[in-house]
């Protein structure tokens, strides 16, 4: 299995809703990431998990709450979002954060297209 699977593919939510995005990989990768991407722009890093521990939080608003239940799963819990949070949310994984792993690329999922109304 060489894929990162993200669900759902599309999500429309109101500003008062609570929803979760899910990400799963079975490649044995020990680093997992959440990125946010606006149209025609590069992905922007939100969170990094290394060995199931939060390693980097790029000053993301608390209405986004990540969770890593185990080495294969990554969730992003959403609450009280704003319309400007509408974007493509990408999950990615990689072999790790060590120097030995720097040659390896990230494997990205297809993303969740989120619309906040």
Partner 1 sequence: TQLLEQSPQFLSIQEGENLTVYCNSSSVFSSLQWYRQEPGEGPVLLVTVVTGGEVKKLKRLTFQFGDARKDSSLHITAAQPGDTGLYLCALRRLGGTSYGKLTFGQGTILTVHP
Pick the piece of the chain touching partner 1 (CB under 8 A) from 12-20, 64-72, 74-82, 109-117: 109-117
Can you tell me which of 21, 46, 48, 116 binds partner 1, judged by CB under 8 A?
Answer: 48
The torsion region of residue 52 among left (phi > 0), alpha (psi -120 to 50) and beta comes to: left
The distance of closest approach from Cβ of residue 15 to partner 1 in the complex, given in angstroms and rounded to an integer, is: 25
The distance of closest approach from Cβ of residue 16 to partner 1 in the complex, given in angstroms and rounded to an integer, is: 28
Residue 21: exposed, middle, or buried by beta-carbon count in 10 A (0-12, 13-18, 19+)? buried
Residue 74 structure tokens:
């990554």
Name 73's bridge partners.
24, 70
Name 89's bridge partners.
36, 112
Q: Give the side-chain half-sphere CA count within 13 A for 19.
A: 17
Q: Per-residue x/- marks for partner 1, 10-39, CB under 8 A?
A: ---------------------x-x------
Q: Per-residue x/- marks for partner 1, 72-101, CB under 8 A?
A: ------------------x-x-x-xx-x-x
> E strand or H helix at 15, and its extent?
none
Residue 113 structure tokens:
């297209």
CB nearer to partner 1: give 43 or 66: 43
Site for partner 1, rule CB under 8 A: 4, 31, 33, 40-43, 45, 48, 50, 55-56, 90, 92, 94, 96-97, 99, 101-111, 113
């Amino acid at each position: 299995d060489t894929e990162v699977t993200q669900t759902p593919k599309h999500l429309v939510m109101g500003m008062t809703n609570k929803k979760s995005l899910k990400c799963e990989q079975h490649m044995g990768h020990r680093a997992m990431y959440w990125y946010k991407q606006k149209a025609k722009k590069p992905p922007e890093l939100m969170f990094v998990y290394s060995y199931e521990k939060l390693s980097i939080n790029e000053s993301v608003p608390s209405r986004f709450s990540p969770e890593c239940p185990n080495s294969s799963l990554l969730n992003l819990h959403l609450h009280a979002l704003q319309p400007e949070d509408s974007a493509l949310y990408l999950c990615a994984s990689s072999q790790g954060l060590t120097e030995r792993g720097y040659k390896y690329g990230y494997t990205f999922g297809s993303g969740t297209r989120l619309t906040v109304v």
